[in-house]
Amino acid sequence: MSANMFGAEDTVLQVDNEEWLSEPREVEDLPLPHDFLWGTATAAYQIEGGASQDNKGKSIWDTFSHLEPSRTNGANGDVACDHYNRVAEDVDLMASYGVDTYRFSISWSRVIPFGGRDDTVNEDGVLFYNKLVDLLLSRKIIPIVTLYHWDAPQELYDRYGAFLNTSEFRADFERFARLCFSRFGDRVTKWVTFNEPYIISIFGHHSGVLAPGHNAASGHDTRTEPWRVGHTIIVSHAAAVHIYATEFQPTQNGSITIVLNGHFYEPWDANSIEHQAGAQRRLEFYIGWFADPIFLGTDYPAEMRARLGSRLPEFSPDEMALLRNTASTNAYYGMNHYSTKFARALPDPPVEDDCTGNVEELATNNKGKMVGPVSGMAWLRVAPDGFRKLLNWVWNRYHLPIVITENGCPCPGESNMSLEQAINDDFRVGYFGLYLDAISRAIYEDGVPVHGYCAWSLMDNFEWSAGYSARYGITHVDYDTLLRTPKKSALYLKRTFNERRKKHE
């Protein structure tokens, strides 16, 4: 799941659902293309458990979630949803929802416990993912496989700082990618290299609220470290794309891309050129940072170069050639999106380690208007119009078809509800309906090619620094018994996709 605003705003709110249910705006159940794919998404560390089972190695999240004092609300992913031992049950659950596709990630340290290019492969880990892929295909569910969803092998940080050493990390990631393409690529045809590089870079290596927890207080250089991490991800992505395109795609006939997250940003003062520019700059610092080099084969956005100067790494001639050669190989734009914010341009000079483009993110504008009703997390507000605008911004800039690889929300107060209350998740149903309407409008009124949608998440799970206090699932999980219970939103999604696609025919 996208950890867009972990930190001060990482708060589970306890507010009455009536605030949302009384909102005047209604879902219209607008049509979607007949071949539009829908499914759900998860991440390995958030659901698998089996933290040391069958020779799995330690990841940075195994380390981070056990730190004292706790950085993860007193929780860890040692057991999580026990998906590792309940995989057949969970695939049956997906099939009962009528999904077309399932996006999941491979735990690097489960298949290569120490992670390195010369380290031993764990065949037990390979067997697990083979089993998962085969189960999905037996139920006619298309796997979308993410290679990296935040859980680097701890050993790579211990050896050379992982992302902080571009050449070493790239070489190890290339080996990991090759292993996955060779072992699973005869059946997996949709690949994602990295999930949300912005979060890896900023929340892992600037604020430090996510693993590995690097920040200024822990002695790390937050002026430069996030940008080096981002650079490593971009180059490693392009290297993996090149490997797939030249060594595997000709026989496997699959596709590959990266998944980027991002809010949409409205200017804090809609009539101010300064704040309009601030909103655009925030989009470039958040999304363009990665998307311009990866999808356009160009340097970082000019505003980033101008503002960051020597803090931003330079692409070598070989790296730039690699980016240019692989830009057109990216099959689609993978978008994780949850909410919209107002962007308020701040007066210069920025703080020394600024990573926003000197822009403040707010939930209200200069007139005190809220961006939308608040969900169970303070940073996540319901703003479907912003979603539609972001779809247009991405399409107009990159001209790639879009697949929504994550979208969803927790209901207000959900973590304190009884089972009966939690499965009647009307807030989430309303959120999904409005965001699907926004996709329909983007497709039919704006001409934006959106090809699929993965709801976050298949089930309640370990939500990173929030632990188990935030529930995003369309399936309720009892963390004591691990019993799965479908929520109203799961049944809504099954029905609405069938009906919306029929409307197009």
How far is it, in rounded angstroms, from Cα 212 to Cα 27?
41
Residue 8 lies in a domain: no
- Tally of structural domains, the chain: 1
Active site residue 406: yes
Structural domain that includes position 293: 18-504
Q: Tokens 């049944």 sit at which residue? A: 491
pLDDT at 11: 46
- Amino acid (1-letter code) at residue 27: V
pLDDT at 25: 63
Q: What is the mean pLDDT of each run of 10 residues along the chain (505 residues)?
A: 44 46 70 98 98 98 98 98 98 98 99 98 98 98 98 98 98 99 98 98 98 98 98 99 98 98 98 98 98 98 97 98 97 98 97 98 97 97 98 98 98 97 98 98 98 98 98 98 98 97 82
Q: How many CA atoms lie within 13 A of 505 on its CB side?
A: 9
Residue 9 lies in a domain: no
Strands (DSSP E) contained in 269-368 are: 333-336, 340-345, 359-362
Identify whether the C-beta of residue 405 lies closer than 8 Å to the C-beta of residue 2: no
C-alpha distances (whole Å) from 431 to each of 55, 187, 411 are: 41, 34, 9
How far is it, in rounded angstroms, from Cα 260 to Cα 495?
28
- Going by their DSSP bridges, the two strands 475-477 and 484-486 should be labelled as antiparallel
pLDDT at 27: 87
CA angle 389/455/20 to nearest 5° reads: 70
Residue 1 lies in a domain: no
Residue 11 lies in a domain: no
How far is it, in rounded angstroms, from Cα 487 to Cα 25?
23
Residue 4 lies in a domain: no
| Burial class (CB within 10 angstroms; exposed 0-12, middle 13-18, buried 19+) of 275 | buried
- Residue 201: give its domain's CATH number: 3.20.20.80
CB atoms within 10 A of CB 447: 9
Residue 156 lies in a domain: yes
Return the HEC string of 468-494.
Answer: CCCCCCCEEECCCCCCEEECHHHHHHH
Phi, psi of 206 (to 5 degrees): -135, -65
Residue 2 lies in a domain: no
Encoding tokens for residue 130? Answer: 């083979």
Catalytic, out of 48, 284, 406, 414: 406
Active site residue 499: no
Identify whether the C-beta of residue 27 lies closer than 8 Å to the C-beta of residue 434: yes
DSSP string over 208-223: --STT---GGGT--TT
Encoding tokens for residue 335? Answer: 């978008």
Residue 395 lies in a domain: yes
Torsion of CA 336, 340, 346, 349, to 10 degrees: 0
Q: Tokens 């809609």 sit at which residue? A: 270
Identify whether the C-beta of residue 229 lies closer than 8 Å to the C-beta of residue 164: yes
Q: Tokens 């690949």 sit at which residue? A: 191
How far is it, in rounded angstroms, from Cα 292 to Cα 287?
8
Catalytic, out of 196, 225, 319, 414: 196
How far is it, in rounded angstroms, from Cα 402 to Cα 33?
13
